[in-house]
Structure 1
Amino acid sequence: MSTAKDLQTPPGPALPPISTSHTTFHIPSPIPSHPALATLLRGVNLSSSAKLPTYPRDHPLRSGGPAQMREGRDELRRVAAGVRTDVGEEGGFWSEAEQGGRDGWFVGRPIHEKGADTHFRRLRAWGFTTIRWIIPWEALEHAGPGKYDEAYIDYTIRLLRLAKHHRLRVFISPHQDTFSRLLSGTGAPYWVLLALGLNPRRVHQSGAALVHACWKEQGWGGEEGRESARAGNAGNWPDMIWNTNLHRLAARHCFTMFYASEVFAPRCTIDGVPAGRWLRDHFNSAFGHLADRLRDAGALLDTCVIGWDSLNEPHEGFVGIPNLNECPPTQDFKKGPSPTPIQAFHLGVGEPVTGVSVDDFTSLGPKHRGKTTITPPGGQGVWLTREEAGEAERKWGWRWGAEWDFWDEGGQGGCPWAGHGVWDRKTGEVLKKDYFRSKPGGGSWEFIQDFWKPHYISFIARVRQSHGDAISFVNPPIFSEPPDLSEDVKQGRLALSSHFYDGLTMLGKRRHVYNADAVGLQRGLKSMSRALKFGSGAIQNGLRDQLRELKSDAVKEDGVAEHRDVDKYPTIIGEIGTPFDMKETKLFGLAKGKTSWGDYKQPAKAMDAVLNACDGRNALSYTLWCYEPLNSHDHGDGWNGEDLSLFSYDDVPGDDDLLADDPPDLKTLITLGSRGIESWCRPYPVEVAGRVDELNFDMSSGDFELRITVPALDGLGETFDHSRADEAVGHEACTKVFLPFVHYHNRGCDGDDSPKGRRRVVGVPEEGGAEWEKGHGPAKVDLEVEQISHGRLEVVGQEGRWFYNLRKSGGDQELRLKIRPWSG
């Protein structure tokens, strides 16, 4: 009989080095004479709570726990389950940040050490090999410029060692959303907002951002929002409202200053250098310091940490807006009040604004809801007063340049954009409507080429001072094409880390009978009539088309693959997933939802659709958003109302939480607390001796098909040692396929009772293999091989091993394997 101890993962051999010299990731073959193996990296993002600091030890939400917490949870979850973005000053939202946080403020993010071993074992048992590790700038440098949280870095190193023990590869994401947690996102520390002239306590009331922590008190802003809050609707945080913050004043200002202050705000300097350069240098130094510490820790770089993402989902700010009097064309998504840039400037200095458009995104698409008035209380805007600016300089230790003086005689106002002549405070009119678009000598500014690219180059150069072989995971703005990059930047160690969500399902939290090609629309490849898709088949093909277009960015010769005569770069979809809190159907025939918690049929179908889009001929690597152990039905992933976690203790029936933490068998480890597991715990080729042409999986039947091409050795070129070709042919090649117990578990009969013409394969347990269910013997895979064109299939644990011979000459071999669960 299995015990929790039996489920422990023994230390495995060191992971082989990974290469990006082909259209897929590659690792060396264990057989020295064989060519490298193609590998798909599939895993999770860890996690939403990584964006938030922990509570103080004496805080009520930590010591007592909120009422909605289930009795019987252990201390670990009592400590953290209340962490969420709607907790304001009662959770120290502003006051702790104003003091620079605490040593180890983010220790416990993304997961607590106490339960980390079980979480990593669960991820490996699900077939995942890769973690996108979320680290916001705030976690590293919250105490002030150049002051790093060494306790947090020590904690991160300990967890990475444990991840390495479980043979998990990690790439680190310097994470942000809407620039900062104080703007209802994540990323930059509190002091960065002060350095850019903002007062975080007045961000929400001035309409500069919709801050979840202010929702209970102030609603949306304006009379409509306050009446809603007074009427008891404060908990009705609009779904996915954080996305609108990208187009509000605070985030646009911060992104513009961070990337481009030298061009658009030359009067704004800090410590004698442009404000943006000052911030970018601090950002690069903070993550460079982390890279230094990981290097000095030893045996983590390359063996566990394989690379670094560029800044998560960067935004252009004001750059490129053609007319500041209007919402720009790129702001096609509107939900809630949507001020134009000039309206945002007025609100920013505390002036009331009427006629602010209120919009929504419904099952039938965008919908205008009318207009509202936003009146900043007390006429106070978002900008620091002259007195507050002086206090910030004294406390945090920087010095603004003499020209950073945009206040009126009373020390109020302080808008840098009025100070740079973009608009007139007296008349309220825009003076330079295309200020952020038109270059003085002609032409237009391009955010990616002119501003994003230089920072990316400086960032990865700093990281590689410590991590010389780091893979650069390039994360351009959402759905945007990356720029061309020189070989001295790429160094043959590059992968694209694009993100993809089915926007209609994400925003509406329902499945629809129609959809649209968002990538094609944004890139101008399709008109709306061509982009619309009706029916499940057309929607599925449309999703694959969008993923194919994103994948193509890594091989286009006028992009990042420029100057490469042969192999192109791989793509990993750094974020992809679907919400598990789908709503009940409201429009019969147009949308499908769920009726109760635990009913994940529709979310599973939605997840299956986007992951099928990654399969097929796309054969993409990906890291799902997300694995969040602190997920709850009341607060989702704890971040702005999102609920995408593959796992939740609230989906553990009864009072079996401790079973999820200390599972007695594999079934408990793999399934307890999982959500829609049949959709994302799916078969895929982990290592391929050849290249993947196509893989397809049917979630309902369990049918799986893999097509690969194995080149003849004489066609491999200089990357293969042709003097060893005879030796290579003498050893069978092996492709490894993950075959999850969730779909292919043996239910008892091990005999070869298959009818004539059917081939049954019953796997053998891993060495020391655990039981699927307590008292029922070691877990085994049980499947039918419907077709195998070459070689043979053996199964050990959840690993299928497809053996076949290589050819020295004679052209490529096209191989096919097709399996299904054994049905007796």
Structure 2
Amino acid sequence: MSSKGATEVSFEAYHPSAARISLRGRHFVDNHDRVLDLRGANVGSASKVPIRPCPPFHEHAKASYVGRPFPLDEAPENWRRLKSWGLTMMRINVTWEALEHAAPGKYDVEFLDYLRKLLISMNEHGIVAYVDVFSRYCGGSGAPGWVVEAAGFDLSDDGEKLALSGSAFLDGIRGGRLQGERGLWPTGYQKLACATMNTLFWGGETFAPSFKVKGEDGREINIQHYLQDAFLKAVDKLVESVGNLDGVIGFELMNEPHPGFIGLSSIHEWNYNTDLHLGQFPSPLQSFSMGAGHPTPGVPIYVRTFPWPTRKSHTVTANPTGANVWRRDGPTGGECPWEKEGVWRWSDKKHSAMAMQEDYFSKDRKGNKVDFYRDCFFPFVKRWEGVVQKRAHGKVRLVEAVPNEYCPEWPVEHRPSNFVFTPHWGSEQKSRPDLSFAQPVKDAMLMSSRSFTTLYWGKGGAKKNYAHQIGTLVGEARSKLGEVPIVFGECGIPMDLNGEEAFSTGDYKWQERMMDALVSAMESSLVGFNLWAYNPHNHDHIGDDWNAENFSWYADNQRDKDLQERSEKGSNADGEDLDAGGRLLDAIVRPYAVATAGTPLSLFYDAETALFTYRFRSPLRLVSEETTVKLGEVTELYLPRRTFTKANTQWNVSSGGRIHFDWENQRAFLWFVDIPPERRVQDMVRRVDIWVPSRTRKAGVNLIQGIGMVVALLLGLALTYYVQLVEWDRDKRVYSRQ
């Protein structure tokens, strides 16, 4: 059917709710068995930290998260904005600390009441969510302070001993602007505090069998059971509070689980290919020494480089003041638990830490090789599922694997029911994607790839590169899991590229091109996703106010600036303009199939030309034109009004297609009236193309420009290699003097 005429009928736009969403194979489906394309945002990054000003670490019981991600009176406008952008499935970030910051078993009833009201208001605006519990330790986000103290760490003086000893990265969560390198927080996973807490949580019974604490009944239990029991009770309280809401489709196990030291073959090093080596990066053994209060020489400093992600620049003596992170009145009596377990000891004679059991974390108590997933992760997933099942029987259970790794082998018997796999992807790129020489891309799953396949050229290359990365991750997951739904729980692009250039120029074209490449990659793999992040309280100077990240593509203060600028120019400054304050909207706000009456085959959208092409397979519909169309036979498309209007849009639909546009609600409805085919078939491949003729592609690169780019590329690579040689020569001289 051509663009000359559209059918005049009436349909109601799909309103998502938990009661109308279920799983079928790799798909989410509605109550009419239509396949749903669920996409949305993380709401939001501000929820990782308490309401500012935060109390000091040693006063963690006073923390409050009421009003995170935003106050209740601001919620309706935020939900309207997100829905108008076609984003209708949110990932709500809730920290363990928000639930239980005061003391073990003392839950924040005020926060739970706030959260319930927030989620009710969300669903009233046609949005659903799944709730994720953040539980990182020390420099990440999530765990209550009393949990860290229960493991023996000293949080006095605002956590000063943790910082001085290099046992945790804390600068980024104290608020304000972070100076210097602003990508250090992921290295917190390998710092002593975080790695120890994760090891005790997942494998305390195996790796710290002598570590006992008093349980709820006063009897001594292993630290692993204490931590896991406390976490699951907090989850139970959360599910009890919001699990019956129709706007909550499910719960996620936890954000970015990490094994800590478990599985390391040697305490002398971390894995460069999975763990970001940046800044001060001690080995596990060095971190034991530092945490125990010993000035530790030879700790490497890593810096960013090219073409590899990072390289060792020089070494320093870490913890020169001798700060000890272990509480004398704590369960370890002021000693490092790994020294008590015989993993290492301090040699007064050699003034250094000595490894006593180098491969300690690779074997269980019987000497068998440890597998983190089989021995630690999968058993806990089953315990967690039991908690969710008890109070939220029909909800989906979302689980992700360890960040920076491919999906593991995951036997069916170890999967929760209603299972959805939720990997993460995040660009580490710091400069624009269209430079005259190729830029390396590092994502959260392929962080340290030492291959020139990570290089790309221009925005076209960025699209191919991102599509390859996402496609590889999805392909690996499909090979391990089969027909299981996949939703990328986090994926985003930093706003502060090129030294924050866009903040002064207002030109976000490089970020927009990267975001377009990212969303296009998700669409080409036909997976759901939650963009990182939607944070109305983002500010250019401090970003998202958490670990110096600046990923939010909307900000209230930017909205005020946009409206003021329009008012000064005499143009429409309507306070209800929901696009005001948004960034990268041409890449984020894009057409897609909300609900497909059939099986999706491919989705393509060119943000520059506004060409949308969607292909799917659906059963033959051999009926007359007058036959009433059932909703289960109708494919619903989202068409953003910022791009598509009645006056500027044309379309084509494959044979037998009928289309109805609801411009006010940004929808198009598509169905088919087929004639008997020449050969016997049960279904047909359908196609719809929608475009804006006035949008044309800008002129490409001519021959002279192309030659110039190639020359610039070669010169850039040569210069980079020369700089590396100079730096390596300098480092050799520095090392030779040590």
- Contact 1:626–1:645 (CA<8 Å) still a contact in 2? yes
Equivalent positions of 1:497-512 (< 5 A) are 497-503=422-428, 505=429
- Contact 2:94–2:131 (CA<8 Å) still a contact in 1? yes
Question: Does 1:574 pair with 2:481?
Answer: no
Question: Does 1:550 pair with 2:473?
Answer: yes
Aligned position for 2:98: 139
Tell me, what secondary structure is at the counterpart of 2:423? coil
Equivalent positions of 1:664-683 (< 5 A) are 668-683=576-591
Aligned position for 2:407: 481
Aligned position for 1:770: none
Tell me, what secondary structure is at the counterpart of 1:671? coil
Tell me, what secondary structure is at the counterpart of 2:382? helix
Question: Does 1:197 pair with 2:160?
Answer: no
Question: Does 1:805 pair with 2:673?
Answer: yes
Separation (CA, whole Å) in 1 of partners of 2:359 and 2:539: 46
Q: Deviations over 1:461-492 (max 9, x none)?
A: 1011000011011111123314424458533x
Separation (CA, whole Å) in 2 of partners of 1:277 and 1:597: 53
Q: Aligned-pair distance for 1:792?
A: 2.1
Going from structure 1 to structure 2, the CA distance change for 1:540 and 1:597 (only over 3 Å counts) comes to same
Q: In the alignment, residue 336 of structure 2 is paired with which amino acid? A: C
Aligned position for 2:200: 257
Going from structure 1 to structure 2, the CA distance change for 1:15 and 1:475 (only over 3 Å counts) comes to closer
Tell me, what secondary structure is at the counterpart of 1:203? helix
Q: Aligned-pair distance for 1:426?
A: 2.8
Q: Aligned-pair distance for 1:326?
A: 2.4
Q: Deviations over 1:346-405 (max 9, x none)?
A: 11011111221111224643233222222353x2211111x3x2xxxxxxxxxx5xxxx5
Q: In the alignment, residue 154 of structure 2 is paired with which amino acid? A: N
Going from structure 1 to structure 2, the CA distance change for 1:712 and 1:453 (only over 3 Å counts) comes to farther
Q: In the alignment, residue 168 of structure 1 is paired with which amino acid? A: I
RMSD: 3.3
Going from structure 1 to structure 2, the CA distance change for 1:355 and 1:277 (only over 3 Å counts) comes to same
Going from structure 1 to structure 2, the CA distance change for 1:264 and 1:578 (only over 3 Å counts) comes to same
Separation (CA, whole Å) in 2 of partners of 1:141 and 1:318: 26
Q: Deviations over 1:392-437 (max 9, x none)?
A: xxxxxxxx5xxxx5x4xxxx4x100000000012352101111001
Aligned position for 2:295: 352
Question: Does 1:23 pair with 2:20?
Answer: no
- Contact 2:13–2:667 (CA<8 Å) still a contact in 1? no
Separation (CA, whole Å) in 1 of partners of 2:264 and 2:120: 46
- Contact 1:731–1:805 (CA<8 Å) still a contact in 2? no
Question: Does 1:282 pair with 2:182?
Answer: no
- Contact 1:169–1:306 (CA<8 Å) still a contact in 2? yes
Going from structure 1 to structure 2, the CA distance change for 1:321 and 1:665 (only over 3 Å counts) comes to same
* Identity level (%): 26
Q: Aligned-pair distance for 1:580?
A: 1.0
Equivalent positions of 1:422-461 (< 5 A) are 422-426=343-347, 428-439=353-364, 441-461=366-386
Q: Aligned-pair distance for 1:542?
A: 3.1
- Contact 1:515–1:539 (CA<8 Å) still a contact in 2? no
Aligned position for 2:75: 116
Q: In the alignment, residue 146 of structure 2 is paired with which amino acid? A: W
Equivalent positions of 1:359-508 (< 5 A) are 359-362=302-305, 364=307, 365-377=309-321, 379-385=322-328, 387=329, 389=330, 405=332, 407=333, 412=334, 414-426=335-347, 428-439=353-364, 441-478=366-403, 479-486=405-412, 489-491=415-417, 493-503=418-428, 505=429
Going from structure 1 to structure 2, the CA distance change for 1:807 and 1:11 (only over 3 Å counts) comes to closer
Going from structure 1 to structure 2, the CA distance change for 1:630 and 1:658 (only over 3 Å counts) comes to farther
Aligned position for 2:255: 312
Going from structure 1 to structure 2, the CA distance change for 1:575 and 1:804 (only over 3 Å counts) comes to same
Going from structure 1 to structure 2, the CA distance change for 1:673 and 1:134 (only over 3 Å counts) comes to same
Q: What is the aligned counterpart of 2:528 among 621, 627, 647?
A: 621
Q: Aligned-pair distance for 1:332?
A: 4.6
Tell me, what secondary structure is at the counterpart of 2:163? coil
Q: What is the aligned counterpart of 1:101 among 62, 67, 80?
A: 62
- Contact 1:631–1:643 (CA<8 Å) still a contact in 2? yes
Q: In the alignment, residue 143 of structure 1 is paired with which amino acid? A: A
Q: Aligned-pair distance for 1:263?
A: 0.4
Separation (CA, whole Å) in 1 of partners of 2:399 and 2:426: 18
Q: Aligned-pair distance for 1:23?
A: 1.6
Question: Does 1:92 pair with 2:55?
Answer: yes
Q: In the alignment, residue 354 of structure 1 is paired with which amino acid? A: P
- Contact 1:49–1:628 (CA<8 Å) still a contact in 2? yes
Going from structure 1 to structure 2, the CA distance change for 1:15 and 1:530 (only over 3 Å counts) comes to closer
Separation (CA, whole Å) in 2 of partners of 1:14 and 1:216: 36
- Contact 1:584–1:595 (CA<8 Å) still a contact in 2? no
Separation (CA, whole Å) in 1 of partners of 2:530 and 2:611: 23
Q: In the alignment, residue 123 of structure 1 is paired with which amino acid? A: L
Unaligned runs of 5+ in 1: 1-8, 30-35, 56-82, 84-90, 218-233, 390-399, 562-567, 586-592, 715-725, 747-761, 763-780
Taking structure 1 as the reference length, the TM-score comes to: 0.74
Q: In the alignment, residue 817 of structure 1 is paired with which amino acid? A: V
Q: Aligned-pair distance for 1:544?
A: 1.6
Q: What is the aligned counterpart of 2:50 among 43, 49, 53?
A: 53
- Contact 1:252–1:317 (CA<8 Å) still a contact in 2? yes
Taking structure 2 as the reference length, the TM-score comes to: 0.82
Equivalent positions of 1:698-777 (< 5 A) are 698-712=606-620, 733-744=633-644, 746=645, 762=646
Q: In the alignment, residue 204 of structure 2 is paired with which amino acid? A: S
Tell me, what secondary structure is at the counterpart of 2:78? helix
Q: In the alignment, residue 42 of structure 2 is paired with which amino acid? A: N
Tell me, what secondary structure is at the counterpart of 1:314? coil
| Aligned residue pairs, count | 656
Going from structure 1 to structure 2, the CA distance change for 1:509 and 1:282 (only over 3 Å counts) comes to farther
